[in-house]
């Protein structure tokens, strides 16, 4: 089993759909980056539980974010193939953050610059990507799902 390594990075570096080099302090003098590739895809495996956040969890997260930089907890990834990463821990926070970003982008248009995020797939909820695309309320999407 490979050793577990980690560091702290900004949420934008983790979620933005562009290459991110993450440097992890090591004992050796060589400090090679972990490369999160452009067009990488984050996958929530189907064994993960569904979202269980309530209104209070969301309010607390938004409050933490609005008060400046904060540590939002650990995210544990397992690399499946090139460009695909399973989220083993932290999927609820990441899902909610992606939903918040999508909502901001939807309601603000171009008024608030929101970066493009990496593709995100929840294996136990196959329509999540479509719901994100249509910001959870498009009548066309609802017709597709119900017919």
Q: What is the pLDDT of residues 82-138, one digit of tens each?
A: 899 999 998 988 999 998 888 888 888 889 888 999 999 999 888 888 888 877 765
Tokens of 64: 């933490």
Residues 6+ apart with CB under 8 A from 18: 38
For the chain, the structural domain boundaries read 40-146
* Single pTM value for the model: 0.80
Q: What is the pLDDT of residues 58-74, one digit of tens each?
A: 888 888 888 877 788 88
Long-range pairs for 47-56 at CB < 8 Å and ≥24 separation? 48/87, 48/91, 48/122, 48/124, 50/124, 50/125, 51/92, 51/95, 51/96, 52/92, 53/92, 53/96
């Amino acid at each position: 089993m490979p050793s577990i390594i980690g560091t702290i990075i900004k949420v934008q570096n983790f979620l933005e759909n562009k290459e991110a080099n993450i440097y992890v302090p090591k004992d050796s003098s060589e400090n090679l980056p972990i490369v999160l590739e452009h067009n990488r895809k984050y996958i929530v495996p189907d064994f993960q539980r569904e979202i269980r956040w309530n209104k209070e969890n969301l309010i607390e997260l938004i409050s933490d974010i609005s008060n400046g930089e904060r540590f939002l907890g650990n995210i544990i990834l397992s690399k499946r193939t090139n460009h695909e990463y399973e989220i083993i821990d932290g999927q609820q926070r990441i899902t909610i953050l992606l939903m918040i970003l999508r909502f901001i982008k939807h309601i603000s248009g171009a008024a608030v610059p929101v970066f493009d995020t990496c593709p995100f797939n929840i294996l136990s909820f196959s329509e999540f990507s479509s719901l994100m695309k249509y910001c959870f309320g498009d009548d066309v999407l609802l017709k597709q799902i119900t017919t």
